[in-house]
C-alpha cells in the first residue's frame, strides 16, 4: 500500500530501564501504528513502526524526546520492509 511507511529506528542514550519501550507503545497505539520496541544488548532500543507517513513522523518526534527519565542522544532511522503485524509489541 503506497500510503503505508515502515521504518526501523535505533535509539541511543539512557533509553533502557526508564520506561522507554512502554512510552513508545503508548504513543504508537493511538497513531494506529503497528510494530514493536525492544531492548538491544548494546543498550539501544530498536523500534519498528508501520503506518501512515504522518503517524511515523509523529512517532519519530516522540523518539527524539523520550520519557522523562530518559536521555536520548541519537535516533538512527532506516528503511524497513513492510510486515504484516497487528498491534504494537514490547519485546
Phi, psi of 83 (to 5 degrees): -130, 155
User: Whole-angstrom Cα distance, residue 7 to residue 76?
Assistant: 10
Q: Check: CB of residue 81 under 8 Å from CB of residue 8.
A: no
Q: Check: CB of residue 89 under 8 Å from CB of residue 49.
A: no
Among candidate residues 14, 39, 60, 85, the one labeled active-site is 39
Among candidate residues 21, 68, 73, 85, the one labeled active-site is 21
44 an active-site residue? no
39 an active-site residue? yes
Catalytically annotated residues? 21, 39
Amino acid at each position: 500500500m503506497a500510503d503505508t511507511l515502515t521504518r526501523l529506528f535505533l535509539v541511543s542514550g539512557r533509553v533502557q530501564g526508564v520506561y522507554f519501550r512502554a512510552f513508545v507503545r503508548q504513543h504508537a497505539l493511538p497513531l494506529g501504528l503497528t510494530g514493536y520496541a525492544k531492548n538491544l544488548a548494546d543498550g539501544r532500543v530498536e523500534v519498528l513502526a508501520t503506518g501512515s507517513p504522518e503517524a511515523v513522523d509523529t512517532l519519530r518526534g516522540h523518539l527524539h524526546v523520550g520519557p522523562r527519565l530518559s536521555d536520548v542522544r541519537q535516533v538512527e532511522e532506516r528503511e524497513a520492509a513492510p510486515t504484516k503485524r497487528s498491534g504494537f509489541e514490547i519485546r
